[in-house]
Amino acid sequence: MDKIPLAEFIKSLDSDLEIKEGKQFTEVTVPPSKLHSLASQLRENDETLFDFLDCITGVDYGHDLGVIYHLYSTKFRHTVVLRTRTADREHPQFDSVSDIWEAANLHEREAFDLLGIKFASHPDLRRLFLNSSWGFPLRKDYVDNDIITW
C-alpha cells in the first residue's frame, strides 16, 4: 500500500486523525486517548498488518512531552509513524502498547527513565539505566547540579 492509500485507509478508521504525508513516511497525529486503539487496529487489520514496532522515541517539545512510534509491516513493506503528545509535564502518561508489540517494553522503559513519561498498563515500568536521584535528564528543563567545571 502506497502512502496515499495508507493515509486514506487510516483516515477511514478515524476521521478525526491528523495525517501528514511526509517525504519518507505517512505520519499520523493521534490524541493520547486513541493511541492504543489505533495501534491495535493497525496491527490486527488484514490490510495493514503492522507487525513490527521499529522504535519508540520520547520527545520533549518544550511545552509538551510526546512519543513517536515507527511501525512497519513485514508483509506489505510499508511504514507509518504515529505521534502523540500531552501538555501535562507534571504527570505525562500514555497507554502502553507493550501488549500489542513486545518490543515496546524496553522502549517505554527508556522513555520513562530519561523523560519521565509513564505508560499505563505497562507490565514492568521501572527505570532502565539510572537511579531515581537523576531526575529525567533528556527533559529540556533538566538541571544537573553535579556538573564538574575545570
Helix axes of 35-44 and 3-13: crossing angle, nearest 10 degrees: 120
> Residue 59 and residue 15: Cα distance in Å, rounded?
25
The tally of CA atoms less than 13 A away on the side-chain side of residue 93 is 8
pLDDT at 147 over 90: no
Q: What integer is the mean pLDDT of 134-140?
A: 93
- The fraction of the chain above a pLDDT of 70, given in percent, is 96
* Alpha-carbon gap, residue 117 to 115, rounded angstroms: 6
Report if residue 139 sits inside a domain.
Answer: no
CA-to-CA distance for 101 and 54, rounded, in angstroms? 10
- Inter-residue contact 18 to 28 (CB < 8 Å): yes
| Segments forming the whole domain that contains residue 34 | 3-134
CB 109 within 8 A of CB 117: no
Domain assignment present for 140: no
Domain count across the chain:
1
CATH number for 123: 3.30.460.80
More confident residue, 22 or 81: 81
Position 143 scores a pLDDT of: 84
In a domain, 148, yes or no: no
**pLDDT band with cut points at 50, 70 and 90 for residue 132:** confident
Instruction: Say what the pLDDT of residue 148 is.
Output: 62
In a domain, 28, yes or no: yes
- One-letter identity of residue 40: S
Helix, strand, coil shares of the chain, percent, nearest 5, are 25, 25, 50
Question: Angle CA(103)–CA(104)–CA(108) in degrees, nearest 5?
Answer: 140
**pLDDT over threshold 90, residue 22:** no
**pLDDT per residue as tens digits for the range 41-69:** 999 999 999 999 999 999 999 999 999 99
Residue 124 near residue 102, CB atoms below 8 Å: no
